Protein backbone atom coordinates (compact mmCIF):
# COMPACT_ATOMS: atom_id res chain seq x y z
CA UNK A 1 0.00 0.00 0.00
CA UNK A 2 1.10 3.56 -0.62
CA UNK A 3 2.20 5.63 2.35
CA UNK A 4 -0.73 8.05 1.99
CA UNK A 5 -3.06 5.15 2.75
CA UNK A 6 -2.92 4.38 6.47
CA UNK A 7 -2.72 0.71 7.39
CA UNK A 8 -5.69 -0.90 9.12
CA UNK A 9 -9.35 -0.12 8.44
CA UNK A 10 -10.52 3.32 9.54
CA UNK A 11 -14.10 3.98 10.53
CA UNK A 12 -14.99 7.36 9.01
CA UNK A 13 -17.91 9.55 10.00
CA UNK A 14 -20.34 11.11 7.53
CA UNK A 15 -19.29 14.68 8.29
CA UNK A 16 -17.35 16.78 5.76
CA UNK A 17 -13.97 15.64 7.08
CA UNK A 18 -14.95 11.95 6.93
CA UNK A 19 -16.36 12.20 3.42
CA UNK A 20 -13.44 14.17 2.04
CA UNK A 21 -11.02 11.59 3.49
CA UNK A 22 -13.12 8.83 1.89
CA UNK A 23 -12.97 10.59 -1.50
CA UNK A 24 -9.22 11.14 -1.10
CA UNK A 25 -8.69 7.45 -0.38
CA UNK A 26 -10.71 6.45 -3.46
CA UNK A 27 -8.57 8.80 -5.58
CA UNK A 28 -5.44 7.20 -4.12
CA UNK A 29 -6.69 3.80 -5.32
CA UNK A 30 -7.77 2.51 -1.90
CA UNK A 31 -10.92 0.57 -1.06
CA UNK A 32 -13.65 2.37 0.88
CA UNK A 33 -16.92 0.83 2.03
CA UNK A 34 -19.89 3.20 2.15
CA UNK A 35 -23.61 3.02 2.89
CA UNK A 36 -26.26 2.97 0.21
CA UNK A 37 -30.00 2.65 0.79
CA UNK A 38 -29.77 -1.08 -0.12
CA UNK A 39 -26.61 -2.48 1.50
CA UNK A 40 -23.05 -1.24 2.13
CA UNK A 41 -20.92 -1.18 -1.01
CA UNK A 42 -17.17 -1.78 -1.26
CA UNK A 43 -16.06 1.13 -3.43
CA UNK A 44 -13.07 1.47 -5.74
CA UNK A 45 -12.23 3.88 -8.57
CA UNK A 46 -13.78 2.03 -11.53
CA UNK A 47 -11.06 3.35 -13.90
CA UNK A 48 -8.19 2.06 -11.78
CA UNK A 49 -7.27 -1.56 -12.59
CA UNK A 50 -5.27 -2.04 -9.42
CA UNK A 51 -8.00 -0.68 -7.20
CA UNK A 52 -10.64 -2.85 -8.89
CA UNK A 53 -8.39 -5.91 -8.66
CA UNK A 54 -8.16 -5.14 -4.94
CA UNK A 55 -11.95 -5.42 -4.64
CA UNK A 56 -11.91 -8.95 -6.05
CA UNK A 57 -9.05 -9.84 -3.74
CA UNK A 58 -10.58 -8.38 -0.56
CA UNK A 59 -13.91 -10.10 -1.25
CA UNK A 60 -12.36 -13.32 -2.62
CA UNK A 61 -14.75 -12.81 -5.50
CA UNK A 62 -14.49 -14.82 -8.75
CA UNK A 63 -13.15 -12.60 -11.53
CA UNK A 64 -15.90 -13.56 -13.99
CA UNK A 65 -18.53 -11.85 -11.82
CA UNK A 66 -18.69 -8.20 -12.93
CA UNK A 67 -19.30 -5.20 -10.64
CA UNK A 68 -21.97 -2.49 -10.51
CA UNK A 69 -20.76 1.04 -11.32
CA UNK A 70 -22.16 3.78 -9.07
CA UNK A 71 -22.65 7.35 -10.21
CA UNK A 72 -24.25 10.38 -8.56
CA UNK A 73 -26.70 11.21 -11.37
CA UNK A 74 -28.34 10.07 -14.58
CA UNK A 75 -26.26 12.66 -16.39
CA UNK A 76 -23.06 11.11 -15.07
CA UNK A 77 -24.39 7.62 -15.87
CA UNK A 78 -24.73 8.59 -19.54
CA UNK A 79 -20.96 9.01 -19.80
CA UNK A 80 -20.49 5.32 -18.96
CA UNK A 81 -23.47 3.50 -20.55
CA UNK A 82 -25.56 3.91 -23.70
CA UNK A 83 -29.17 4.61 -22.81
CA UNK A 84 -32.14 3.65 -24.96
CA UNK A 85 -35.77 4.83 -24.62
CA UNK A 86 -36.62 2.12 -22.08
CA UNK A 87 -33.59 2.96 -19.97
CA UNK A 88 -34.48 6.65 -20.07
CA UNK A 89 -37.97 5.92 -18.89
CA UNK A 90 -36.81 3.73 -16.00
CA UNK A 91 -34.09 6.15 -14.94
CA UNK A 92 -36.64 8.97 -14.85
CA UNK A 93 -39.01 6.88 -12.75
CA UNK A 94 -36.66 5.15 -10.30
CA UNK A 95 -33.35 7.04 -10.00
CA UNK A 96 -31.90 7.79 -7.61
CA UNK A 97 -32.91 4.48 -6.05
CA UNK A 98 -32.43 0.70 -5.80
CA UNK A 99 -32.55 -0.12 -9.52
CA UNK A 100 -29.48 -1.22 -11.52
CA UNK A 101 -29.62 -1.12 -15.32
CA UNK A 102 -27.40 -3.30 -17.53
CA UNK A 103 -26.68 -1.41 -20.74
CA UNK A 104 -24.09 -1.30 -23.52
CA UNK A 105 -20.80 0.09 -22.26
CA UNK A 106 -19.37 3.38 -23.51
CA UNK A 107 -15.82 2.18 -24.26
CA UNK A 108 -14.40 5.73 -24.03
CA UNK A 109 -15.42 5.92 -20.37
CA UNK A 110 -12.16 4.13 -19.60
CA UNK A 111 -13.55 1.64 -17.09
CA UNK A 112 -11.24 -1.13 -16.00
CA UNK A 113 -12.11 -4.28 -17.96
CA UNK A 114 -12.23 -6.08 -14.62
CA UNK A 115 -15.36 -4.08 -13.76
CA UNK A 116 -17.31 -5.48 -16.69
CA UNK A 117 -15.51 -8.83 -16.87
CA UNK A 118 -14.87 -7.89 -20.51
CA UNK A 119 -18.58 -8.19 -21.40
CA UNK A 120 -19.23 -5.06 -23.44
CA UNK A 121 -22.12 -4.24 -21.12
CA UNK A 122 -22.09 -2.42 -17.81
CA UNK A 123 -24.35 -2.45 -14.74
CA UNK A 124 -25.13 1.11 -13.63
CA UNK A 125 -26.75 2.41 -10.47
CA UNK A 126 -27.49 5.86 -9.03
CA UNK A 127 -28.02 5.33 -5.30
CA UNK A 128 -30.37 7.53 -3.29
CA UNK A 129 -28.56 7.43 0.07
CA UNK A 130 -27.36 10.97 0.90
CA UNK A 131 -23.97 9.70 2.08
CA UNK A 132 -23.45 7.72 -1.13
CA UNK A 133 -24.57 10.77 -3.12
CA UNK A 134 -22.14 13.06 -1.27
CA UNK A 135 -19.24 10.63 -1.65
CA UNK A 136 -19.86 10.01 -5.37
CA UNK A 137 -20.18 13.73 -6.04
CA UNK A 138 -17.06 14.51 -4.02
CA UNK A 139 -15.06 11.79 -5.75
CA UNK A 140 -16.26 12.91 -9.15
CA UNK A 141 -15.92 9.64 -11.08
CA UNK A 142 -17.42 6.17 -11.49
CA UNK A 143 -17.17 3.94 -8.42
CA UNK A 144 -17.30 0.16 -8.76
CA UNK A 145 -18.99 -1.25 -5.68
CA UNK A 146 -20.14 -4.77 -4.97
CA UNK A 147 -21.73 -5.48 -1.62
CA UNK A 148 -19.09 -5.10 1.11
CA UNK A 149 -18.99 -8.72 2.28
CA UNK A 150 -16.72 -11.62 1.46
CA UNK A 151 -18.03 -13.46 -1.57
CA UNK A 152 -20.96 -15.80 -0.90
CA UNK A 153 -21.70 -14.42 2.58
CA UNK A 154 -24.54 -12.23 3.82
CA UNK A 155 -24.52 -8.65 2.54
CA UNK A 156 -23.85 -5.95 5.18
CA UNK A 157 -26.52 -3.50 6.27
CA UNK A 158 -24.41 -1.85 9.01
CA UNK A 159 -20.79 -0.66 9.24
CA UNK A 160 -20.12 -3.30 11.93
CA UNK A 161 -21.11 -6.05 9.45
CA UNK A 162 -18.60 -4.68 6.95
CA UNK A 163 -15.85 -4.77 9.59
CA UNK A 164 -16.81 -8.32 10.61
CA UNK A 165 -15.87 -9.57 7.16
CA UNK A 166 -13.37 -7.08 5.75
CA UNK A 167 -11.53 -5.44 8.66
CA UNK A 168 -7.83 -5.18 7.83
CA UNK A 169 -8.50 -5.79 4.12
CA UNK A 170 -9.88 -2.36 3.18
CA UNK A 171 -8.78 1.21 3.92
CA UNK A 172 -12.00 2.53 5.46
CA UNK A 173 -15.70 2.21 6.06
CA UNK A 174 -17.93 5.29 6.17
CA UNK A 175 -20.36 4.64 9.02
CA UNK A 176 -23.79 5.82 7.90
CA UNK A 177 -25.87 3.62 10.23
CA UNK A 178 -28.46 1.09 9.07
CA UNK A 179 -29.45 0.66 5.42
CA UNK A 180 -33.16 1.41 4.99
CA UNK A 181 -33.99 -1.06 2.19
CA UNK A 182 -31.77 -3.90 3.43
CA UNK A 183 -31.74 -5.90 0.16
CA UNK A 184 -29.64 -5.24 -2.92
CA UNK A 185 -30.93 -3.33 -5.94
CA UNK A 186 -33.09 -4.93 -8.60
CA UNK A 187 -30.91 -5.64 -11.66
CA UNK A 188 -32.63 -5.20 -15.00
CA UNK A 189 -30.96 -6.28 -18.22
CA UNK A 190 -31.78 -3.88 -21.05
CA UNK A 191 -29.43 -5.05 -23.76
CA UNK A 192 -32.26 -7.02 -25.40
CA UNK A 193 -35.84 -7.26 -24.12
CA UNK A 194 -36.02 -6.11 -20.49
CA UNK A 195 -35.26 -9.00 -18.14
CA UNK A 196 -34.92 -9.13 -14.36
CA UNK A 197 -31.46 -10.52 -13.64
CA UNK A 198 -31.84 -10.17 -9.88
CA UNK A 199 -35.00 -9.25 -7.93
CA UNK A 200 -34.31 -6.53 -5.37
CA UNK A 201 -35.35 -3.26 -3.79
CA UNK A 202 -37.67 -2.15 -6.63
CA UNK A 203 -40.43 -4.74 -7.06
CA UNK A 204 -40.85 -6.21 -10.56
CA UNK A 205 -44.49 -5.07 -10.48
CA UNK A 206 -43.41 -1.42 -10.20
CA UNK A 207 -41.15 -1.81 -13.23
CA UNK A 208 -43.93 -3.54 -15.18
CA UNK A 209 -46.31 -0.69 -14.33
CA UNK A 210 -43.76 1.83 -15.54
CA UNK A 211 -43.09 0.01 -18.82
CA UNK A 212 -46.64 -1.22 -19.35
CA UNK A 213 -45.45 -4.77 -20.19
CA UNK A 214 -44.80 -7.95 -18.23
CA UNK A 215 -41.13 -8.73 -17.62
CA UNK A 216 -39.16 -11.90 -18.13
CA UNK A 217 -37.09 -13.23 -15.25
CA UNK A 218 -33.73 -14.76 -16.08
CA UNK A 219 -33.56 -18.48 -15.37
CA UNK A 220 -31.29 -19.12 -12.40
CA UNK A 221 -27.73 -19.61 -13.55
CA UNK A 222 -25.48 -22.44 -12.42
CA UNK A 223 -22.04 -21.98 -10.92
CA UNK A 224 -20.71 -19.86 -13.71
CA UNK A 225 -23.36 -17.53 -15.09
CA UNK A 226 -22.64 -16.55 -18.72
CA UNK A 227 -25.24 -13.82 -18.52
CA UNK A 228 -23.91 -13.02 -15.09
CA UNK A 229 -26.63 -12.76 -12.61
CA UNK A 230 -26.22 -14.92 -9.65
CA UNK A 231 -24.53 -17.93 -8.24
CA UNK A 232 -26.90 -20.50 -6.75
CA UNK A 233 -25.37 -20.54 -3.28
CA UNK A 234 -24.97 -17.03 -1.97
CA UNK A 235 -25.93 -15.00 1.07
CA UNK A 236 -24.93 -18.02 3.09
CA UNK A 237 -24.91 -18.00 6.88
CA UNK A 238 -22.82 -20.69 8.58
CA UNK A 239 -25.95 -22.52 9.72
CA UNK A 240 -28.16 -24.58 7.41
CA UNK A 241 -31.24 -22.61 6.28
CA UNK A 242 -34.70 -24.13 5.79
CA UNK A 243 -37.22 -21.82 4.17
CA UNK A 244 -41.04 -22.02 4.02
CA UNK A 245 -41.05 -23.78 7.37
CA UNK A 246 -44.37 -23.85 9.18
CA UNK A 247 -43.66 -26.23 12.05
CA UNK A 248 -40.77 -26.36 14.46
CA UNK A 249 -37.45 -28.15 14.16
CA UNK A 250 -35.66 -29.32 17.27
CA UNK A 251 -33.07 -26.82 18.37
CA UNK A 252 -33.52 -24.60 15.31
CA UNK A 253 -33.40 -20.83 15.46
CA UNK A 254 -36.82 -19.72 14.18
CA UNK A 255 -37.23 -16.59 12.05
CA UNK A 256 -40.93 -15.86 11.65
CA UNK A 257 -42.93 -13.60 9.38
CA UNK A 258 -46.30 -12.04 10.12
CA UNK A 259 -48.89 -12.35 12.87
CA UNK A 260 -49.00 -16.18 12.76
CA UNK A 261 -45.42 -16.60 13.94
CA UNK A 262 -45.73 -16.21 17.71
CA UNK A 263 -42.94 -17.96 19.57
CA UNK A 264 -40.37 -17.42 16.81
CA UNK A 265 -36.94 -16.24 18.01
CA UNK A 266 -37.18 -13.23 15.71
CA UNK A 267 -40.01 -12.00 13.48
CA UNK A 268 -39.13 -10.27 10.19
CA UNK A 269 -42.31 -8.25 10.55
CA UNK A 270 -44.99 -9.09 13.14
CA UNK A 271 -47.54 -7.18 11.05
CA UNK A 272 -46.52 -8.84 7.77
CA UNK A 273 -45.02 -5.66 6.29
CA UNK A 274 -42.64 -6.52 3.42
CA UNK A 275 -40.64 -3.32 3.67
CA UNK A 276 -39.89 -4.01 7.32
CA UNK A 277 -39.13 -7.67 6.54
CA UNK A 278 -36.66 -6.76 3.77
CA UNK A 279 -34.86 -4.31 6.05
CA UNK A 280 -34.52 -6.99 8.75
CA UNK A 281 -33.62 -10.02 6.65
CA UNK A 282 -29.81 -9.96 6.45
CA UNK A 283 -29.41 -8.56 9.93
CA UNK A 284 -31.61 -11.36 11.38
CA UNK A 285 -29.74 -14.07 9.46
CA UNK A 286 -26.55 -12.74 11.04
CA UNK A 287 -28.12 -12.75 14.50
CA UNK A 288 -29.40 -16.28 14.01
CA UNK A 289 -25.93 -17.39 12.97
CA UNK A 290 -24.35 -15.65 15.95
CA UNK A 291 -26.58 -17.73 18.27
CA UNK A 292 -24.45 -20.73 17.31
CA UNK A 293 -27.43 -22.72 16.02
CA UNK A 294 -26.90 -25.46 13.43
CA UNK A 295 -30.24 -24.76 11.70
CA UNK A 296 -32.22 -21.61 10.91
CA UNK A 297 -35.86 -22.01 9.88
CA UNK A 298 -37.78 -19.22 8.15
CA UNK A 299 -41.57 -18.92 7.86
CA UNK A 300 -43.14 -18.59 4.40
CA UNK A 301 -43.03 -15.08 2.95
CA UNK A 302 -45.60 -14.24 0.23
CA UNK A 303 -43.94 -14.27 -3.21
CA UNK A 304 -45.03 -10.84 -4.44
CA UNK A 305 -43.57 -7.35 -4.39
CA UNK A 306 -40.45 -7.20 -2.21
CA UNK A 307 -41.31 -10.75 -1.08
CA UNK A 308 -39.87 -12.00 -4.38
CA UNK A 309 -36.49 -10.50 -3.55
CA UNK A 310 -36.70 -11.82 0.03
CA UNK A 311 -37.49 -15.35 -1.23
CA UNK A 312 -34.71 -15.11 -3.83
CA UNK A 313 -32.16 -14.37 -1.08
CA UNK A 314 -33.57 -17.10 1.16
CA UNK A 315 -33.41 -19.65 -1.68
CA UNK A 316 -29.76 -18.82 -2.19
CA UNK A 317 -29.08 -18.96 1.56
CA UNK A 318 -30.74 -22.39 1.62
CA UNK A 319 -29.02 -23.71 -1.54
CA UNK A 320 -26.59 -26.63 -1.25
CA UNK A 321 -22.98 -25.45 -0.84
CA UNK A 322 -19.79 -26.99 -2.16
> By the criterion CB under 6 A, which residues form the site for ligand TXA?
36, 38-39, 41, 65-68, 98, 100, 102, 116, 119, 121-123, 125, 145-147, 184-185, 187, 197-198, 228-230
Q: How far is the CB of 64 from ligand TXA (least distance, A)?
A: 9
* Residue nearer to Mg ion on the CB measure, 57 or 209: 57
Indicate which of Mg ion, ligand TXA, none lies near residue 182 (CB less than 5 to 8 Å, by partner kind): none
Report CA dihedral (216, 217, 222, 224) to the nearest 10 degrees: 80
H/E element, 50: helix 49-59
Indicate which of ligand TXA, Mg ion, none lies near residue 52 (CB less than 5 to 8 Å, by partner kind): none
81 and 182 Cβ atoms separated by less than 8 Å: no
* Residue nearer to ligand TXA on the CB measure, 47 or 125: 125
* Residue nearer to ligand TXA on the CB measure, 40 or 253: 40
Q: Which residues contact 75 (CB under 8 A, 6 or more apart)?
A: none
The burial of 205, by beta-carbon neighbours within 10 Å (0-12 exposed, 13-18 middle, 19 or more buried), is given as middle
- Please tell me the distance from the alpha carbon of residue 111 to that of residue 129, in angstroms, as a whole number: 24
301: phi then psi, degrees, rounded to nearest 5: -120, 130
* E strands, 17-133, in order: 32-34, 41-45, 68-70, 99-104, 121-125
* Stretch 138-157 residues interacting with Mg ion (CB under 5 A): 147
Q: Does 311 bind Mg ion (CB under 5 A)?
A: no
* Residue nearer to Mg ion on the CB measure, 96 or 228: 228
Indicate which of ligand TXA, Mg ion, none lies near residue 48 (CB less than 5 to 8 Å, by partner kind): none
Give the closest residue to 65 by CA, choosing from 50, 55, 51, 80.
Answer: 55
Q: How far is the CB of 200 from Mg ion (least distance, A)?
A: 11
Give the closest residue to 184 by CA, choosing from 271, 78, 308.
Answer: 308
* Residue nearer to Mg ion on the CB measure, 252 or 285: 285
Q: Which string of DSSP letters, residue by residue, matches 205-223?
A: HHHHHHHTS--EEPPPP-S
Indicate which of Mg ion, ligand TXA, none lies near residue 254 (CB less than 5 to 8 Å, by partner kind): none
* Residue nearer to ligand TXA on the CB measure, 41 or 176: 41
* Residue nearer to ligand TXA on the CB measure, 96 or 146: 146
DSSP 17: H
Q: How far is the CB of 96 from ligand TXA (least distance, A)?
A: 11
Q: Which residues contact 301 (CB under 8 A, 6 or more apart)?
A: 257, 268, 274, 277, 307, 310, 311, 314
Indicate which of ligand TXA, Mg ion, none lies near residue 112 (CB less than 5 to 8 Å, by partner kind): none
Q: How far is the CB of 6 from ligand TXA (least distance, A)?
A: 24
Q: How far is the CB of 41 from ligand TXA (least distance, A)?
A: 3
Q: Which residues bind Mg ion (CB under 5 A)?
A: 147
Amino acid sequence: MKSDIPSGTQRLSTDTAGLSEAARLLRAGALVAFPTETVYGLGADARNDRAVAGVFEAKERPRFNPLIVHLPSWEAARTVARFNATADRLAAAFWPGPLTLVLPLVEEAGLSTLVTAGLGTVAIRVPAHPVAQALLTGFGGPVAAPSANTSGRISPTRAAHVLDGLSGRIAAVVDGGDCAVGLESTILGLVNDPVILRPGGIPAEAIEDCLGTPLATATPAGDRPDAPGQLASHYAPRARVLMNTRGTEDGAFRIGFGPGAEGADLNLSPTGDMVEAAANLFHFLRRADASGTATITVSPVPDRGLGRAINDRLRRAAAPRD
